[in-house]
Amino acid sequence: MTSASSQRSHRKSVTWLFFILLIIYLLYSSKLILNNDDSSDCVNTSSNISTTEAFSTNSSSLTFQERQERTKEYVRAKEPELKHIVFGIAASSNLWEKRKEYIKLWWRPGETRGVVWLDKNVKTNRNEALPDIKISGDTSKFLYTNRQGRRSALRISRVVSETLRLGLKDVRWFVMGDDDTVFIVENVVRVLSKYDHNQYYYIGSSSESHVQNIFFSYAMAYGGGGFAISYPLAKELEKMQDRCIQRYPGLYGSDDRIQACMAELGVPLTKERGFHQYDVYGNLLGLLGAHPVTPLVSLHHLDVVDPIFPGMSRVSGLQRLFESAKLDSASLMQQSICYDKERYWSISVSWGYVVQIIRGNISPRELEMPTRTFLNWYRRADYTAYAFNTRPVTKHPCQKPFVYYMNTAKYDRTRKQIIGIYYRHREPSPYCRWKVESPENINNIVLLKRPDSNRWQKSPRRECCGVLPSNNNSKTNLYMWVGSCRDGEISEL
């Protein structure tokens, strides 16, 4: 009995031992499976790390300059080029012969893309440097009830949509303007490069007239100054615009109809101050001589304002301005402020356009404010009617500016700089009692500048300027430089 009991007890122990070993085996097997899954992840991770390391190793084998070039190539691939922009130009057949001369100033056959939209056919000449001409669609079905406006606003408001329907390829932006709008196309590209063309953007600027903005809207891009619409937004606008137009028969113009549709789409105006409506009359010297620190994109109402260069026609004056734009479009009209402390002069430079010398010390805060050489849109000398700060034309005889307009400019390849010659505008100067040296003996200003096409890729800042030493044989010439400010350099009184 004792022997049998011990044998049964031994079998039970063996059975339990086998059972425990089986459980351990199963647990171990499952752990191996889990570990294999984890290890596969580890393999993938290590594979990714290996790939990254290989990329890093490959990158580290490049020189610093090569890495910079690769980065620049990537950035350039994302930035728009002129070929990605299509211009839609609203024009009138009645004014075509005169207004087409403005378009010729900035249009570049083979480089720029776009269409002029007219109300009816006009005579065309072969080999004219002009865009394609098309006739706007019929708008007679749309209501128009504004007694002060014209029905042409309906067809003009559809320019972007009609241009989109042409099915042009590789388009990122549509830019609209009038036939009396002049664009600096390089600066159009520079401004639009700040924005993602795959998103909804409506880019432009307000009027210079406070009253105009109140009457229409501060949220509206004025069409004469030009505005840009990204491709995906243009597609959404085209889908709903005809229905939208019918909802606003009482609006005055085309640009307020565009803004009304943008409000329905929920897209606000992105303001860029370089688009200029110029709802003013008279002399633009005050405005252009103190241009804001932003690229000059467009000029409008050129038939309304005086020629920008005295003694020249409007078109020939703009042609002279474009000579400067060819040399350094990024700096065109950009203001620099400096002082000749020995002669007690304040100097304001609007590069490519004008240099003004004023006796006495005028602070930069004042000089960057436009002088009211112009009248507002309602022909009143009312400084409260402007949508920006201005300062009066001085009444003090000693502080009347001596004005020097750009005459010629050329690029010196050996010195890698632009040499501009600015001639004094001859007009009577009032008698001044001050013992300060008068600039009236300075006939010409020679202005030196290195072109800087990348200036707007940096934070916005006015460039600096200064007076260069000159020999005694050139008392009638003043030599100056304009360029990027050095560390610690300011426009100091």
Residue 354's Cα: distance from chain center in Å?
22
Provide CB contacts within 8 A for 428, sequence distance 6+. none
Q: Which two tokens stand for residue 323?
A: 């000579």
* Residue 255 sits in the same domain as residue 331: no
Residue 35, pLDDT above cutoff 70: no
What confidence tier does 46 reach under pLDDT thresholds 50, 70, 90? very low
* Residue 239 sits in the same domain as residue 96: yes
Q: Of the residues 212, 240, 271, which one is the last residue of a structural domain? A: 271
Report the range of poorest mean pLDDT among 68-72, 183-187, 282-286.
68-72
pLDDT attached to residue 80: 82
On the CB side of 35, CA atoms within 13 Å amount to: 6
Mean pLDDT over residues 235-258, rounded? 97
Question: Which residue is listed with tokens 């995906």?
Answer: 232
Query: Is 60 within the bounds of a domain?
Result: no
Q: Are strands 173-178 and 227-230 parallel, antiparallel or unpaired?
A: antiparallel
Residue 266, pLDDT above cutoff 90: yes
Rounded CA separation 407/458 (Å): 30
pLDDT in tens, 301-310: 999 999 999 9
Report the range of poorest mean pLDDT among 3-17, 376-390, 452-466.
3-17
> Cα dist. 281→98, 106, 381, 411 in Å?
19, 23, 11, 34
Residue 446, pLDDT above cutoff 90: yes
- Classify 243 as helix, strand or coil: helix
Residue (of 170, 154, 81, 166) closest to 116 by Cα position: 166
* Residue 263 sits in the same domain as residue 319: no
User: Is 49 or 189 the better-scoring residue by pLDDT?
Assistant: 189
Provide CB contacts within 8 A for 123, sequence distance 6+. none
Angle at 221 between CA 220 and CA 225, to 5 degrees: 145
* Residue 91 sits in the same domain as residue 240: yes
Share of the chain above pLDDT 70, in %: 84
Mean pLDDT over residues 454-470, rounded? 94
Residue 11, pLDDT above cutoff 60: yes
Q: Of the residues 207, 240, 271, which one is the last residue of a structural domain? A: 271
Residue (of 150, 435, 401) closest to 290 by Cα position: 401
Report the range of poorest mean pLDDT among 34-48, 192-206, 218-232.
34-48
Residue 37, pLDDT above cutoff 70: no
Query: Is 303 within the bounds of a domain?
Result: no
Q: Of the residues 216, 250, 271, which one is the last residue of a structural domain? A: 271
Residue 355, pLDDT above cutoff 50: yes
Residue 260, pLDDT above cutoff 70: yes
Mean pLDDT over residues 308-318, rounded? 96
pLDDT attached to residue 29: 56
What beta strand segments (E) does 49-204 contain? 85-90, 113-118, 132-135, 173-178, 182-183, 202-204
Rounded CA separation 272/275 (Å): 6
Query: Is 246 within the bounds of a domain?
Result: yes
* Residue 263 sits in the same domain as residue 374: no
Whether residue 176 contacts residue 248, with contact meaning beta carbons closer than 8 Å, is answered with: no
Q: Dihedrals φ, ψ of 446, to 5°? A: -100, 115
- Classify 240 as helix, strand or coil: helix
Query: Is 45 within the bounds of a domain?
Result: no
Share of the chain above pLDDT 90, in %: 77
pLDDT attached to residue 43: 35
What confidence tier does 53 reach under pLDDT thresholds 50, 70, 90? very low
Rounded CA separation 384/371 (Å): 13
81: CATH: 3.90.550.50
Long-range contacts of 93-100 (CB under 8 A, 24+ apart): 93/118, 93/119, 93/120, 93/121, 93/122, 95/179, 95/180, 96/122, 96/179, 97/122, 98/303, 99/179, 99/180, 99/303, 100/128, 100/130, 100/179
Query: Is 130 within the bounds of a domain?
Result: yes
Rounded CA separation 177/255 (Å): 10
What confidence tier does 470 reach under pLDDT thresholds 50, 70, 90? confident
DSSP string, 196-238: -TTS--EEE---SBHHHHHHS-TTS--TTT-EEEEHHHHHHHH
Residue 24, pLDDT above cutoff 80: no
Query: Is 131 within the bounds of a domain?
Result: yes
Range of the domain at 208: 77-271
Residue 474, pLDDT above cutoff 80: no
* Residue 212 sits in the same domain as residue 337: no
390: CATH: 2.70.130.10
Q: How many residues does the chain have?
A: 493
pLDDT in tens, 109-136: 999 999 999 999 999 888 899 999 999 9
State which amino acid sits at residue 330.
A
* Residue 319 sits in the same domain as residue 265: no
DSSP character at residue 297: -
Residue 451, pLDDT above cutoff 90: yes
Q: Total structural domains in the chain?
A: 2
* Residue 469 sits in the same domain as residue 357: yes
Q: Dihedrals φ, ψ of 183, to 5°? A: -105, 145
Q: Dihedrals φ, ψ of 339, to 5°? A: -135, 140
User: Is 441 or 39 the better-scoring residue by pLDDT?
Assistant: 441
User: Is 45 or 401 the better-scoring residue by pLDDT?
Assistant: 401
pLDDT attached to residue 25: 62
Residue 32, pLDDT above cutoff 60: no
* Residue 335 sits in the same domain as residue 266: no
Mean pLDDT over residues 91-110, rounded? 96
Mean pLDDT over residues 293-320, rounded? 96
What confidence tier does 378 reach under pLDDT thresholds 50, 70, 90? confident
Rounded CA separation 437/360 (Å): 10
* Residue 259 sits in the same domain as residue 356: no
Query: Is 305 within the bounds of a domain?
Result: no
* Residue 83 sits in the same domain as residue 227: yes
pLDDT attached to residue 124: 86
Residue (of 318, 405, 401, 319) closest to 366 by Cα position: 401
Query: Is 287 within the bounds of a domain?
Result: no
Residue (of 290, 253, 300, 291) closest to 273 by Cα position: 291
Q: Which two tokens stand for residue 3?
A: 């022997």
User: Is 92 or 385 the better-scoring residue by pLDDT?
Assistant: 92
Mean per-residue pLDDT of the chain:
88
Rounded CA separation 364/79 (Å): 34
Output the pTM of the full model: 0.83
* Residue 366 sits in the same domain as residue 446: yes
pLDDT attached to residue 242: 97
- 477: enclosing H helix or E strand: strand 477-483
